[in-house]
Structure 1
Amino acid sequence: MSILFLPFDRTDVPGPVRELVPAATLERWCGADRSASRPRLVVATAGHTDTGTGGTWTAVALVTARPHTASVKIVGAAGEPTAIDAVIEAIAADAVESGAVQLKWEGEPAGSAHGFVPMSPPLPSGPGTGTQATGLVRWLVPDVTLHPTPYYAQTTLVSCGAVTALSAAAAVTGDDLTLDADGEVAFWQEATNHPACEPVGLGVALARRHPELAVTVALDTDRPVILEHLDGQERDWRAALQRESRRAAADLGIPVEAERLRLPDLAGAVRAGTGALLLIDLTLMRGLPFPHWVRCTGTAGDTVVLDDPSVDPALGESWVDGHLLPVGVADLDAMAAFGAGGYRGAVLVRRRSNS
């Protein structure tokens, strides 16, 4: 048996794939433009092949990987059970060689379990949570520490900060995450700098909502942030709101630390149970030069594990992609720099010592 790794083009599906993969599954594989996530076919062939693509195809899987992450996703697999087993192990070996620490499986698995465990289902929420109900994960490194909550996808384009803040609070307090669209938008209204949530205002809103938590803001600039696209009066009134947020932080005793947060220090704090919201630039991971909040929910090997509240079904993503997403420290260091000068913003959340 030979294993082949081939690029996948949804407009030019090889004949053997059409023979092996059920029509409904193939429709799902081809129904989204997965090109941004390096889609590949992993094929088991029987018999000798001189061309590298000949022989009898006995199993095939479709795999993707979001850029600059340490995760590989199996979109699906089909074929003979023993051949599928060989394909899955080849995918795992290739993932390890590429530096990935995690293998996910979206949808019902075929073949044997291969060390996969079910992921907790998402809460009813935004795009990507309603059509793909099952996700499994296999960690490829032994040292994994997680402080998860059920996945919740933001229901608006601007409420990533609200989702990550409320999820972090639930993780730190140990409470169940009971979040819906109304609660999400209501908290966004408390925290927003119109339309984004800047770090100090987000920290103030979280501290007011959860006085039992100790909140720290890390922001290595004293200039107004996330306003690069604005000027004149549109910039000025939002800058005034940010100055008011700093006054409110001082009144509430929220530290605003100006020293740049080091990612290894962040990883250590998250591993120990600190809730962390991190402002990132989406250019590397999504090709979009936009600010975005993610929640750091654990560590795996030398990666920080995130919950990204935004996934795009048009790109073939579901909640499985956004939940428990590992990113290497070097990649996350590059992502966690936004705007002029590449400032870094984060909100850290801990239990108060007397609570």
Structure 2
Amino acid sequence: MATAVPMVEIWRGPFLESMHSGHAVVCDDTGQIVESWGDPEAVVLPRSSSKMLQALPLLESGAAADAGLTDEQLALACASHNGSEIHSVRVKAWLEALGKSDEDFRCGPQEPRDIAVRDALIREDKPVCRYHNNCSGKHSGFLTLTKYLNAGPDYVAVDHPVQKAVKAAFEEVTQEDTPGYGIDGCSAPNFATTMHGMARAMAFFAGANPDGGARESAAAKLTRAMATYPELVAGEGRACTDLMRAMDHKVAVKTGAEAYFIAIVPEKKMGVAVKILDGSTRGAECAIASILVRLGVLDPAHPLAQKYINAPIQNWDGLVTGRMKPVEGFI
């Protein structure tokens, strides 16, 4: 991978203790780079930051309309959720409406990130299920499309009609042929693209006309659903949810594993892609928040913004021992 640049600093007292470096690109809706850091041509797996791209065929095909999917369900299709009650109840209802069960999911069982839910499962001696998986909303969308296409049950296979449709949409919106894929944590293929390609795709979503063709309409609906229901996209205490709330539901933000992050900014028709090279989520959260401040869509004084761009580091006794902040000149 090409040279990354410093983006986030960790200070302990007067000492610079650690630093997170990465790549970032901001694109406009013509696909042109507005600003970049590091290497825009670095090829990276966007992981769960690509979920709205993976959801495009669900809407474009007519499967979402045929199933009567709501904006809440579209938000879940793009989610990496906490496995909280608000998530699992909706996913289970979606499965029932499809006439499917937990065993029809191809994502594995995952312990809920929501500690209260996890502890309740332990106390009640109940199993961790596939619907607890943070990607179960995306897989509900895959199952919906599979049923609509009358395709086989192994919908995560790269040669399955669902994944062929995902790859086609991914390449068309990034405007790049993908060099390949890795298998994601939820067993679905995750296609690689350049930082520029991903930012260009997010800018397409940002500029999409709700009354346009099938693809533009789909992109606009997914963006609106994410921004409207940030608690379904991630959950309480998560950066995606916090930042979308801090921006009054006007911007869609989505994390991906290994410190990827995207933002879709409709009012400026801009898209953002961020990758922190060491895989540190804290670094990616600070970097995306800093870029949103730089773009003028996130108030740096908002408490939820301060949580990520000027985050206090506390020890076990509650003493503030340092801070995480963007490198000088980043915002």
Query: Shared topology, TM-score over 0.5?
Result: no
More helix per residue: 1 or 2?
A: 2
Normalising by structure 2, what TM-score?
A: 0.27
More strand per residue: 1 or 2?
A: 1
Who wins on radius of gyration, i.e. which is larger? 1
